[in-house]
Chains A and B, each alone.
Chain A
Amino acid sequence: MEWANDGKSKGGVLAHLERLEIQVNRSRKNLEDPQRAQAVESALGTKIHKLRCLRDKLRAEVKQRQARVRASPDQTLEISEQEVMERRQEKVKAILQAYRFTGLSGKLTSRGVCVCISTAFEGNLLDSYFIDLVIQKPLRIHHHSIPVFIPLEEISAKYLQNNIQHFLFCLCEYLNAYAGRKYQADRLQSDFAAFLAGPLQRNSLCNLLSFTYKVELRGQFPFRARLQYKDLTTTLPTDVTITYQGTDALSPSWEEQRASHENLFFSKPLHHVFTYLQEKEKSWI
């Protein structure tokens, strides 16, 4: 092939052509997806801005500290140790307070420790309970505020002596599940009273609920629901029985509704089922 062996100019032309090609591809890419290019650009711009702000903040802090050191060079050593301890104290106090967000917090006592168990459901912070432990061999419970229907003896018999961490988290599980069930029952009673015929029947452990309800604001109360939560560590029922007790004959449409309601109660928290049914009702209007 008789192409000129003039390496310099050939390399120059080819290289130039390559560069032009890259440029075309790049601008084509930007044209095809200007939004993406823009998004990337603006994200980088934001990042640059953030880093600049951080840099300025740090510079200001450095200046401040330098000024402090210059101002009182002799006293600095003594006071800073005190200041360090005070700061550390504030930090430790804050962290001790923050433990309640893990579900377990506590204070040392002369006998041992008083553990505080916090409960929550769907982001709603609920009641706390305490259990005062005496640290001896064997470990024992001095006193506590745990409701009598929570199987505390059973749980402590299994775990208290062998694995106190497991004991506490297990208790935490039971209490949180109870708090969650109670919250659902309370919300049903307060927010959806118009849909219930008569009071919500419930036991203190809130693991057996029974109520008669309707879905439309007018008309009869066609359904009776019975919810059982055999697993005390969950907030959803293990057994759901919906019976139709309307005065009309049980038509296929009633049966369909009844069956779908059963599924709903299995899968959603109690008050959410009613919210859902309400919205469905509204969408029919």
Chain B
Amino acid sequence: MYQSDSEGWASSKDLRSHLGHLESELLFLSTLTGISIRNYSMKTEDLANTEKTEKSMKKVLQRHRLSGNCHMITFQLEFQILEIQDKENLSSVITDLNIIMEPTEYSELSEFVSRAEERRDLLMFFRSLHFFVEWCEYRKRTFEHFKEKYPEAVHLPEGAASSYMVVQSTRQPGFELVIVWRVQIDEEGKVLPKLDLLPKAPQQALQLDRNRVLETAPLSFRALLGALGIEAALESLIKSLCTADYGRFPADSQVSKMPQEAPRPYAELTCSPRSP
């Protein structure tokens, strides 16, 4: 543990520059993957051959501990890998997986975490975590974009990081459109955005609505999403509610287009390939 002489390092300058190179590699990797690992340790244990195994078989149990974060979500993992080496091949199997995540307010995540632990699917955990965070960030940017573009019509009662946005006409405050945008993780770890429209109107308006426009609005919204994608669908929704408010819409200048596209085109996500 406590070596009086450095082994292999001609000078501490060499060590410093090599360390610098490693640190920049680490920084690069964490930027590239979006996942920042801050701590990692591993212990190995040679399992004694108590069974009637041949001498050529080696069994090693590795205990890993890993912690870090992916944007606003921090994780702490403990897992075990059993490595079996016989004459022909080496097999590595994750035999136990424990995951602790914060913040815990993303309720969609707790179910997902239990599933990942049950299946001992470490890689799927990170992959889905990445896509989940990506969608949450896109949702936040989208909400912020519309708030900036239509400040009087768009309201974010719980902030841009929440899961819903309210569109209200200033001329007709009784009319409201609540757009609920959840980011869900399915059984196989696939991350999907799920958007729903909840219209609100005064009782009188509902009575006058002979064409049942308000009743069918949620379904029409789904169709709109499939046809135009999320950003364009929301834009057209806001414009249609607020036609009276704006004599003219903000010119299609810098503010109008979102700086980044959706992680995946919405139309690609909604098709359900399973046959009945």
Q: Are B22 and A89 in contact (CB under 8 A)?
A: yes
| Stretch from B106-114, B125-133, B147-155 at the A interface | B125-133
Q: Which residue of A lies closest to B33 (CB)?
A: A104
A136 → B minimal CB distance (Å):
16
CA distance A83 to B40 in the complex (A): 19
A184 within 8 A of B: no
B28 within 8 A of A: yes
Q: Are B130 and A165 in contact (CB under 8 A)?
A: yes
A256 within 8 A of B: no
A103 within 8 A of B: yes
Contacts of B182 in A (CB 8 A): none
- Knowing A85-B15, A103-B123, A104-B33 are in contact, say whether A123-B95 is a contact too (CB < 8 A): yes
A228 → B minimal CB distance (Å):
9
A43 within 8 A of B: no
CA distance A178 to B34 in the complex (A): 24
> Which residues of chain B from 67 to 107 have a CB within 8 Å of any chain A CB?
79, 81, 91-95, 97
Q: Are B22 and A169 in contact (CB under 8 A)?
A: no
- Knowing A89-B18, A89-B22, A108-B24 are in contact, say whether A166-B263 is a contact too (CB < 8 A): yes
Q: Are B25 and A96 in contact (CB under 8 A)?
A: yes
Q: Are B64 and A98 in contact (CB under 8 A)?
A: yes
CA distance A205 to B126 in the complex (A): 24
- Knowing A89-B15, A93-B22 are in contact, say whether A120-B32 is a contact too (CB < 8 A): no
Contacts of A125 in B (CB 8 A): 81, 92-94
Q: Are A176 and B123 in contact (CB under 8 A)?
A: yes
A163 → B minimal CB distance (Å):
8
A146 within 8 A of B: no
B200 within 8 A of A: no
B136 within 8 A of A: no
Contacts of B40 in A (CB 8 A): 91, 94-95, 97-98
> Which residues of chain B from 202 to 237 have a CB within 8 Å of any chain A CB?
none
A104 → B minimal CB distance (Å):
5
Q: Are A89 and B19 in contact (CB under 8 A)?
A: yes
| Stretch from A12-20, A21-29, A111-119, A213-221 at the B interface | A111-119
- Knowing A113-B32, A123-B93, A169-B131 are in contact, say whether A235-B122 is a contact too (CB < 8 A): no
Contacts of B41 in A (CB 8 A): 94
CA distance A106 to B37 in the complex (A): 14
Interface residues on A, range: 35 or more
Contacts of B33 in A (CB 8 A): 99, 102, 104, 165, 168
A266 within 8 A of B: yes
Tell me what chain B mostly uses at the interface: helix, strand, loop, or mixed. mixed
B241 → A minimal CB distance (Å):
32
- Knowing A125-B93, A230-B273 are in contact, say whether A173-B188 is a contact too (CB < 8 A): no
Contacts of A230 in B (CB 8 A): 273
Q: Are B119 and A122 in contact (CB under 8 A)?
A: yes
B140 within 8 A of A: no
B134 within 8 A of A: yes
Q: Are A81 and B12 in contact (CB under 8 A)?
A: yes
Residue among A92, A96, A99 with the highest chain B CB neighbour number at 10 A: A99
A270 within 8 A of B: no
> Which residues of chain B from 12 to 59 have a CB within 8 Å of any chain A CB?
12, 15-16, 18-19, 21-26, 28-29, 32-35, 37-42
Contacts of A169 in B (CB 8 A): 127, 130-131
A236 within 8 A of B: yes
Contacts of B28 in A (CB 8 A): 108, 113
CA distance A1 to B227 in the complex (A): 82
Partner of B12, one of A85, A96, A119, A166: A85
CA distance A119 to B122 in the complex (A): 10
Q: Are B122 and A101 in contact (CB under 8 A)?
A: yes
A79 within 8 A of B: yes
Q: Are B29 and A101 in contact (CB under 8 A)?
A: no
CA distance A86 to B121 in the complex (A): 33
B6 within 8 A of A: yes
A33 within 8 A of B: no
Q: Are A101 and B119 in contact (CB under 8 A)?
A: no
Chain A interface (Cβ within 8 Å of chain B)? 68, 79, 81-83, 85-86, 88-89, 91-99, 101-108, 113, 115, 118-120, 122-125, 162-166, 168-169, 172-173, 176, 230-231, 233-236, 238-239, 266
The 8 A-B pairs with the shortest beta carbon distances in the complex, nearest first, are: A123-B120, A123-B94, A98-B40, A125-B92, A238-B273, A102-B126, A103-B123, A92-B22
What are some 27 contacts across the A-B interface (CB < 8 A)?
A: A82-B6, A86-B15, A89-B15, A92-B19, A92-B23, A98-B40, A98-B64, A101-B64, A102-B37, A104-B32, A105-B29, A108-B21, A108-B28, A113-B28, A113-B32, A120-B121, A122-B121, A123-B95, A163-B260, A165-B33, A168-B33, A173-B127, A176-B124, A176-B127, A230-B273, A234-B190, A238-B274
Chain B interface (Cβ within 8 Å of chain A)? 2-4, 6, 9, 12, 15-16, 18-19, 21-26, 28-29, 32-35, 37-42, 64, 66, 79, 81, 91-95, 97, 119-124, 126-127, 130-131, 134, 188, 190, 260-261, 263, 273-275
